[in-house]
Amino acid sequence: MKTNRRDFIKLSSLGLGAITLSSPFFWMKENKPLDDSKAKRYPTYCEVCFWKCAGWVYTNEEGKIWKIIGNEEDQHSNGRFCPRGTGGPGQYYDKDRITQPQMRVTKDGVDTFEPVSWDVALDFIAKKLHKIGRKYGPECTALFSHGSGGKFLGTVLKAFGSNNITAPSYAQCRGPREVGFFGTFGKGVGSPEPLDIRDTRCLVLIGSHLGENMHNGQVQELSQAIDKKATIITVDPRFSTVASKSKYYLPIKPATDIALLLSWIHVIIYEELYDAKYVEKYTYGFEQLKEHVKTFTPEWAYGITTITPEVIRKTAHEMGAASPATIIHPGRHVTWYGDDTQRLRAVAILNALLGSWGRKGGFYMPEKKKMKGYPHPPFPVPKRTWRDAFPGKYELAGLALASGICDATVPTIERDCSFKAWIVNGTNLIKTLPNRENTLKAIQSLDLLVVIDTMPVEITGYADVILPECTYLERYDMIRTAGHRKPAIALRVPATEPIGETKPDWWIAKSLAKKMGLERYFADPNPADNTYDTWIEKVLDWQLKKAGTSLEEMKKIGVKTYERKFDDLFFLPNEDVSFNTNTGKIELYSTSFAEAGFDAMPVYTPHPEPPQGFYRLNYGRAPMHTFGRTINNPNLNALMSENALWVNPKVAKAEDIENGQYVWLENQDGKTSSFSIKVRVTERIRWDSLYMVHGFGHDAKKMKRAHGKGAADSELITNVMIDPIMGGTGMRGNFIKILTEQPNKEVQS
Ligand SMILES: Nc1nc2c(c(=O)[nH]1)N[C@H]1C(S)=C(S)[C@@H](COP(=O)(O)OP(=O)(O)OC[C@H]3O[C@@H](n4cnc5c(=O)[nH]c(N)nc54)[C@H](O)[C@@H]3O)O[C@H]1N2
Ligand SMILES: Nc1nc2c(c(=O)[nH]1)N[C@H]1C(S)=C(S)[C@@H](COP(=O)(O)OP(=O)(O)OC[C@H]3O[C@@H](n4cnc5c(=O)[nH]c(N)nc54)[C@H](O)[C@@H]3O)O[C@H]1N2
Ligand code: SF4
Ligand SMILES: [Mo]
């Protein structure tokens, strides 16, 4: 049997996933089968991040999880898991997991959690939701969900009469990108990003720190592109891993990217480096754009960005020479400074000028397999949605805003609809939403907070009811259908029994629906056999049969890849293409933005600079962790147990601090970090910023391995720069100073 260890190390040797696995994880050693041929394998897709790589979970003769590897058929993983995915089963083995439903009770005037049965917990939730529904309307309930199970709970909420369903992956992540690209191409980017990186000849990364951001297929393609000598241009105030692999590294002054992008557009237009035929055939507003960028010369941008005119011109020429096989990467976490939709418009415009949308080595047109949903009665039509809380605002937002629903939960005199109940599934809003004080204020005004999680994370501490979900290794889930070069589906089945009282989301949702009198929305394809616990198998089998396969077949293959319906991965030469915009063209001048009262073409506006003694708070990813969700995973914690504060040597000198010293942080609003963080003195960060990996500094005490380790960026993000176009929460306008003494000693435990 083949393991993926060789491939895993091969990736690492490029330095992109800068991590080595010195010895296999403990369960891989302990649970190795005596006879490998007796091992069983179960198809899954990984839930450690949102790339959702398909793979195989192997169990030994006793049914214990031995290892997890990629599925060779899968376009997301190409048969190889990233370090986080390989260590994913650590989540299953984590002794700190929540294993039983719990309810908040008051004993002797003190709130505490009491273990309860599922029956009691669901009964309480159902009654409370109905009470809230009768009093305020079902629209006053919301579901926050990030991860696979949201679909089932979403059905409960919609059946109840609310469509306030939201994920932080929009307004805290990729929302501005989707709106910026939609305003240009009439189509968002989507996930996985349809980038033909393996065949690109020039890749421009603007803050996308691929290699630390470990989205698997993309990192693999980046390795291929590097091997094929593609030009990599990295723009980042921090010398990221990929910056070290780049031909050009542009250490931009933070918050000035729009100026750089505009001057690149200037050079590409005025030095005629653009794809003239493509621009002529497919785009609208070229002359307006040309006029708009007339004065945005590299000399103008130099004064703003600190990138020299020579480098700006040279890199623009590289992009032009490789066109159309040039990708200006659209990034993913793009909620930086509040003008992010416009920055992403500029990125989209550059791609359009270089003719890379719909072209080999640029953006391909993904195809998705549509699965038929099992029929259910129509959902009631809600009388209100989250949008009613924001009249005339964020109208271009395509999805509900997690931060918006949070804001609208805090009662104000003007607002007649506040949210009264939240169901929070697989998102740790305390560490995820900016401005924690505001999140807590919202939570305090709720009548009901239900949290469904696998771990006792921060948000569980505020819940009225905590429901323990089993991990992805112990459950069935929806079919994964994300689009790719070819349409494909992937199946997840349980590889082992759920531990304790943990249950899968589908079961939780269906059981809650039953308690609420809404079970008809979870109809059984074969009620005669009366087996509640196999409902999901029956539904999946029904769906899969409609898609030309079956549950039985999918258990054997895990992934099924279909041929494309149309040969339209890329535009054909001279093909007539109609875009889903007002003009039917790629809009360099966005008519929809203009109609909505926004700039039709991006403009640069200066952002505040750190005051004396303060530095800009910058944050990002580490290859072996996903946000805060993996910090307590015994495997991944062993690879990195705390984050460090990246400090430029000049700053270290000025602040009189040294490498390895622990410090505390205080932001512009006087908010201090709860825990200390270790200093890492390095030239790899500009002197105007300090950098840390997001996700650390857990204050939840029950997460024993993670508690108190490192500092939390989210605690220090109190200034939120909201994007007026779509409500994204810009989080990089916070300034911090270094404290060598522990602040607020008396309140620390
Ligand atoms: N300060 C700051 N804030 C950020 C970011 C940042 O970099 N810095 N990044 C932003 C971005 S890009 C995003 S996408 C969001 C992500 O935000 P979140 O999705 O909230 O990320 P996590 O903090 O990892 O929370 C995931 C939660 O899901 C739980 N979980 C894991 N597996 C399962 C499961 O199978 N079932 C259930 N029910 N729960 C599970 C974990 O225990 C954890 O509590 O955060 C955004 N917010
Ligand atoms: N290992 C791992 N991989 C992940 C995740 C994870 O948690 N762990 N999360 C996934 C998710 S949901 C997302 S959204 C992505 C996020 O990954 P990306 O989209 O790549 O994230 P960003 O936060 O945009 O990028 C962080 C980089 O931006 C740089 N930066 C900061 N300020 C500026 C600036 O003003 N200008 C420029 N040009 N650069 C700047 C930082 O120095 C850092 O290198 O990662 C995904 N991949
Ligand atoms: S990229 Fe890694 S963590 Fe994310 S789904 Fe794939 S294997 Fe899992
Ligand atoms: Mo994200």
CATH number of the domain that residue 626 is part of: 2.40.40.20
Q: What is the CATH number of the domain that holds 345?
A: 3.40.228.10
The residue among 330, 235, 343, 299 whose CA lies nearest residue 603 is: 343
User: CB under 6 Å to ligand 1: residues?
Assistant: 47, 146-147, 149, 168-169, 172-173, 333, 425-428, 431-432, 452-455, 457, 469, 471-472, 619, 626-629, 694, 713-714, 717, 731
Is residue 107 a part of any domain in this protein?
Answer: no
Same domain, residue pair 635 and 668: yes
Nearest-CA residue for ligand 1 atom 3 is 432
Same domain, residue pair 585 and 652: no
- Rounded distance from Cα 294 to ligand 1 centre (Å): 43
Over residues 524-534, the mean pLDDT reads 83
- Write out pLDDT tens, residues 397-417: 999 999 999 999 998 877 766
Compute the C-alpha angle 740/718/674, nearest 5°: 40
- Cβ contacts of 603 within 8 Å, gap of 6 or more: 258, 262, 342
What is the residue-wise DSSP string for 593-655? HHHTTS-SS------PPPPTT-EEEEEE--TT--TTTTTT-HHHHHH--S-EEEE-HHHHHHH
The token duo for 184 is 């240009």
Our count of domains for the chain comes to 2
Tell me what pLDDT residue 15 has.
54
- Rounded distance from Cα 573 to ligand 3 centre (Å): 36
Q: Do the beta carbons of residue 311 and residue 299 sit within 8 Å?
A: no
Task: Determine the atom of ligand 3 nearest the C-alpha atom of 81.
Answer: 7
- Rounded distance from Cα 53 to ligand 3 centre (Å): 5
For a ligand 2 pocket test, name from 332, 337, 688 the mutation site with the most ligand atoms within 8 angstroms of its C-beta. Answer: 332
Nearest-CA residue for ligand 2 atom 20 is 208
Q: Alpha helices of 498-564 — where are they, by DSSP H?
A: 505-515, 535-546, 551-557
Same domain, residue pair 210 and 249: yes
For a ligand 1 pocket test, name from 453, 476, 643, 690 the mutation site with the most ligand atoms within 8 angstroms of its C-beta. Answer: 453
Q: Report how far residue 420's alpha carbon sits from residue 214's, in angstroms, rounded to the nearest whole number.
A: 37
Ligand nearest, relative to CA of residue 306: 2
The model's confidence at residue 21, banded by pLDDT at 50, 70 and 90, is low
The model's confidence at residue 369, banded by pLDDT at 50, 70 and 90, is very high
The model's confidence at residue 23, banded by pLDDT at 50, 70 and 90, is low
Nearest-CA residue for ligand 3 atom 6 is 53
Q: Report how far residue 422's alpha carbon sits from residue 405's, in angstroms, rounded to the nearest whole number.
A: 10
Q: Report how far residue 66's alpha carbon sits from residue 25's, in angstroms, rounded to the nearest whole number.
A: 10
For a ligand 1 pocket test, name from 96, 458, 477, 627 the mutation site with the most ligand atoms within 8 angstroms of its C-beta. Answer: 627
Tell me what pLDDT residue 526 has.
86
Nearest-CA residue for ligand 3 atom 4 is 49
Question: What percent of the chain has a predicted confidence (pLDDT) above 90?
Answer: 91
- In this predicted structure, the answer to whether residue 3 has a pLDDT above a threshold of 70 is no
- Cβ contacts of 171 within 8 Å, gap of 6 or more: 335, 397, 401, 402, 403, 404, 726, 727, 728, 729
The model's confidence at residue 150, banded by pLDDT at 50, 70 and 90, is confident
- Write out pLDDT tens, residues 438-455: 999 999 999 999 999 999
Task: Determine the atom of ligand 2 nearest the C-alpha atom of 695.
Answer: 7
- Write out pLDDT tens, residues 597-641: 999 999 999 999 999 999 999 999 999 999 999 999 999 999 999
Same domain, residue pair 630 and 698: yes
Bridge partner list, 167: 401
Over residues 288-311, the mean pLDDT reads 98
- Rounded distance from Cα 44 to ligand 3 centre (Å): 12
Q: Which residue has the higher pLDDT, 440 or 6?
A: 440
Task: Determine the atom of ligand 3 nearest the C-alpha atom of 45.
Answer: 5
Of the residues 562, 595, 628, the one at which a domain ends? 595
Q: Report how far residue 331's alpha carbon sits from residue 221's, in angstroms, rounded to the nearest whole number.
A: 15
Q: Do the beta carbons of residue 88 and residue 429 sit within 8 Å?
A: no
Q: Cα separations (Å) of 729 from 50, 394, 407?
A: 20, 12, 12
Is residue 473 a part of any domain in this protein?
Answer: no
Same domain, residue pair 622 and 664: yes
Q: Cα separations (Å) of 204 from 48, 182, 197, 374, 466?
A: 27, 20, 11, 43, 44
Q: What interhelical angle do 505-515 and 118-136 show, nearest 10?
A: 60
Q: Is 197 helix (H, G, I), strand (E, B) or coil?
A: helix
Give the lowest-confidence range in 9-18, 147-156, 231-240, 484-493. Answer: 9-18
Nearest-CA residue for ligand 1 atom 43 is 629
Same domain, residue pair 356 and 212: yes
Structural domain of 202: 173-366+575-595
Question: What percent of the chain has a predicted confidence (pLDDT) above 70?
Answer: 96
- Write out pLDDT tens, residues 164-219: 999 999 999 999 999 999 999 999 999 999 999 999 999 999 999 999 999 999 99
- Rounded distance from Cα 583 to ligand 4 centre (Å): 31
Same domain, residue pair 586 and 686: no
CA 640 to chain CA centroid, nearest Å: 21
Rg of the chain, C-alpha, whole Å: 25
- Write out pLDDT tens, residues 486-520: 999 999 999 999 999 999 999 999 999 999 999 99
The model's confidence at residue 24, banded by pLDDT at 50, 70 and 90, is confident
Amino acid at site 23 = S
- Write out pLDDT tens, residues 60-96: 999 999 999 999 999 999 999 999 999 999 999 999 9
Is residue 345 a part of any domain in this protein?
Answer: yes
Of the residues 538, 566, 595, the one at which a domain ends? 595
Phi and psi, residue 144, nearest 5°: -105, 125
- Rounded distance from Cα 522 to ligand 2 centre (Å): 39
Tell me what pLDDT residue 417 has.
63
- Rounded distance from Cα 687 to ligand 2 centre (Å): 19
Same domain, residue pair 280 and 201: yes
Task: Give burial (CB, 10 Å; 0-12/13-18/19+) of 7.
Answer: middle
Task: Determine the atom of ligand 3 nearest the C-alpha atom of 77.
Answer: 6
Is residue 659 a part of any domain in this protein?
Answer: yes
Of the residues 595, 627, 643, the one at which a domain ends? 595
Same domain, residue pair 263 and 340: yes
For a ligand 2 pocket test, name from 178, 209, 241 the mutation site with the most ligand atoms within 8 angstroms of its C-beta. Answer: 209
Nearest-CA residue for ligand 2 atom 21 is 333
The residue among 243, 323, 219 whose CA lies nearest residue 277 is: 323
Mean model confidence pLDDT for the chain: 94
Report how many helices (DSSP H) and strands (DSSP E) the chain contains, helices first: 24, 26
Nearest-CA residue for ligand 3 atom 8 is 85
Phi and psi, residue 95, nearest 5°: -70, -15
Same domain, residue pair 336 and 289: yes
Task: Give burial (CB, 10 Å; 0-12/13-18/19+) of 247.
Answer: middle
- In this predicted structure, the answer to whether residue 49 has a pLDDT above a threshold of 50 is yes
Pairing of strands 615-620, 141-145: unpaired
User: CB under 6 Å to ligand 3: residues?
Assistant: 46, 48-49, 51-53, 77, 81-82, 84-85, 214-216
- In this predicted structure, the answer to whether residue 331 has a pLDDT above a threshold of 80 is yes
Is residue 233 a part of any domain in this protein?
Answer: yes
Residue 697 region by backbone torsions, left for phi larger than 0, else alpha for psi between -120 and 50, else beta: left
Same domain, residue pair 651 and 585: no
Is residue 269 a part of any domain in this protein?
Answer: yes
The residue among 653, 630, 637 whose CA lies nearest residue 738 is: 653
Same domain, residue pair 626 and 588: no
Pairing of strands 65-70, 141-145: unpaired
- In this predicted structure, the answer to whether residue 346 has a pLDDT above a threshold of 90 is yes
- In this predicted structure, the answer to whether residue 742 has a pLDDT above a threshold of 60 is yes
Is residue 677 a part of any domain in this protein?
Answer: yes
Q: Report how far residue 50's alpha carbon sits from residue 53's, in angstroms, rounded to the nearest whole number.
A: 8
